[in-house]
């Protein structure tokens, strides 16, 4: 009954964990959920006001396939003011979440059988999207020693005459690490010199802690020409359910994406687009407040690992709301096919949920989300500490 395409899809490990947490909660088990991939804040009122406005003023009919013009103008203003980038509204395509933007971008630029390089560890959906669209996902291992940031050295042996695109995530889900401007410059210049497109997923751009964020497209005009910037409101403005993502690219690519979208979904919900416009225009303070809250949690966690759990090393978290913790010290003590699944299952027995790194291609690691209250973070980490100490005893 099913197509080969559908049969080839792997179930999402992150959604699998969420389903187990939901079942445990429904059974009355007070599980501490540090597996979440979405902000723990409600959508700010300044954004909700846009949705209310759309409903009350009948902004509820078909709009432009590439997305509402007013919203695309607001995105251009944001890209100019915050990232120093010059784009016109015809270079912007608004889609139903960043995931949908990535799908449209790959569909518009990559042919059947062409290769897309995806650094490992990766966000779970990249390989699935690429393969679903008939292209080949080439998984390239990065090194723990430099925080899993892709380098020219990592990538150069994986380039072939079929390589069409490289996907970069900055800051990264799952590692929480972020590139410096110099690291990005070196890597992206190399890719452009090899005529490779860059899909730069910048969805966590507003959640950075140590260094100012640099968009790949801001590196040079030459790099900008070869880059599709992906961004959205899900993480920065806590609008996951509104489903708004967008891309900035050349006019040629944007037109192709708009055309694809016109046949598949027409455009995202007009109510959500209005809310996104208000979010970009009015929610700067609310977004900054959330960032500062994540930063306090990040600082607490880094301190906790340093002082309370020195047995485990973590990737230095510079952005997003994840900490990637290396569990390999437990490998000799635990017999299991997958170390990260075993650790996460044991921790679920202790009523704390993390995501096993195997889902991101890194089985030595678990992903700890701090999109959760400080009380939950403290209790969850105490239980992890007890588990690690007992296992190592």
Ligand X SMILES: Cc1ncc(COP(=O)(O)O)c(C=O)c1O
Task: Using CB under 6 A, list all residues that contact ligand X.
Answer: 37, 97-99, 123, 169, 173, 201, 203, 232, 234, 240, 245
Least separation in angstroms between CB 121 and ligand X = 11
d(CA 355, CA 373): 17
Q: Give the CA dihedral 216, 280, 261, 89, nearest 10 degrees.
A: -70
Cβ of residue 165: shortest distance to ligand X, in angstroms?
15
Q: What is the dihedral sign for C-alpha 152, 156, 158, 159?
A: positive
- Give me the DSSP letters along 300-369: HHHHHHHHT-TTSEE----BTTEEEEE-GGGGGG---S-HHHHHHHHHHHTTEE-EEGGGGT-TTEEEEE
Q: Least distance to ligand X from the beta carbon of 268, Å?
A: 10
Taking alpha carbons only, the member of 232, 236, 226 closest to residue 246 is 232
Nearer to ligand X, 232 or 357 (CB): 232
Cβ-based nearer residue to ligand X, 224 or 367: 367
Among residues 338, 306, 350, 349, which one has the least CA distance to residue 325? 306
On the question of a cis peptide bond just before residue 171, with omega within 30 degrees of 0, the verdict is: yes
When the beta carbons of 123 and 179 are compared against ligand X, the nearer one is: 123
Task: Kindly tell me which of 39 and 388 has the beta carbon lying closer to ligand X.
Answer: 39
Q: How far is the CB of 167 from ligand X (least distance, A)?
A: 9
Separation between Cα atoms, residue 151 and residue 190, nearest integer Å: 10
Which CB sits closer to ligand X, 44 or 97? Answer: 97
Measured from each CB, the residue nearest to ligand X is 97
Closest to ligand X by CB, 39 or 89:
39
Indicate the residue among 278 and 322 with the shorter CB distance to ligand X: 322
Query: What is the nearest approach in angstroms of ligand X to the Cβ of residue 246?
Result: 10
Do the Cβ atoms of 147 and 316 come closer than 8 Å? yes
Residue (of 78, 107, 50) closest to 228 by Cα position = 107
User: How far apart are CB 355 and ligand X at their closest, in Å?
Assistant: 11
Report the distance separating Cα 52 and Cα 370, nearest Å: 30
Shortest distance (Å) from residue 231 CB to ligand X: 9
């Amino acid at each position: 009954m099913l197509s080969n395409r559908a049969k080839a899809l792997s179930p999402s490990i992150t959604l699998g964990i969420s389903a187990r947490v939901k079942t445990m909660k429904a059974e009355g088990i007070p599980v501490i959920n540090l597996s979440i991939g979405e902000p723990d804040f409600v959508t700010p009122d300044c954004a909700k006001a846009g949705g209310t406005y759309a409903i009350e003023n009948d902004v509820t009919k078909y709009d432009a396939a590439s997305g509402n013009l007013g919203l695309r103008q607001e995105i251009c203003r944001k890209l100019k003011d915050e990232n120093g980038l010059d784009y016109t509204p015809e270079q912007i395509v608004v889609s139903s979440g960043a995931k949908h933007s990535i799908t449209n971008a790959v569909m518009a630029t990559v042919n059947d059988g062409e290769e897309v390089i995806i650094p490992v560890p990766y966000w779970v959906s990249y390989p699935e999207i690429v393969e679903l669209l008939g292209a080949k996902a080439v998984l390239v291992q990065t090194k723990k020693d430099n925080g899993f940031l892709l380098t020219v050295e990592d990538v150069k042996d994986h380039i072939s005459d079929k390589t069409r695109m490289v996907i970069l995530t900055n800051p990264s889900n799952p590692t929480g690490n972020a590139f410096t401007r110099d690291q990005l410059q070196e890597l992206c210049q190399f890719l452009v010199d090899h005529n490779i497109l860059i899909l730069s997923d910048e969805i966590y751009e507003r959640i950075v802690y140590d260094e100012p964020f640099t968009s790949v497209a801001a590196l040079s005009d030459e790099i900008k020409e070869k880059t599709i910037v992906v961004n959205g409101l899900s993480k920065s403005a806590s609008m996951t359910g509104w489903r708004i993502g967008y891309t900035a690219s050349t006019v040629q690519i944007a037109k192709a994406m708009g055309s694809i979208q016109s046949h598949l979904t027409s455009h995202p919900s007009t109510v959500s687009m209005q809310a996104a416009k208000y979010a970009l225009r009015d929610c700067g303070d609310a977004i900054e407040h959330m960032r500062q809250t994540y930063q306090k949690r990040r600082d607490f966690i880094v301190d906790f690992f340093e002082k309370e759990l020195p047995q485990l090393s973590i990737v230095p978290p510079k952005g997003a709301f994840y900490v990637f913790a290396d569990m390999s010290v437990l490998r000799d003590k635990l017999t299991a096919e997958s170390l990260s699944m075993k650790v996460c299952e044991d921790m679920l027995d202790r009523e704390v949920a993390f995501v096993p790194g195997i889902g991101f291609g890194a089985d030595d690691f678990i992903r700890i989300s701090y999109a959760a209250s400080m009380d939950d973070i403290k209790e969850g980490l105490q239980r992890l500490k007890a588990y690690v100490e007992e296992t190592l005893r």
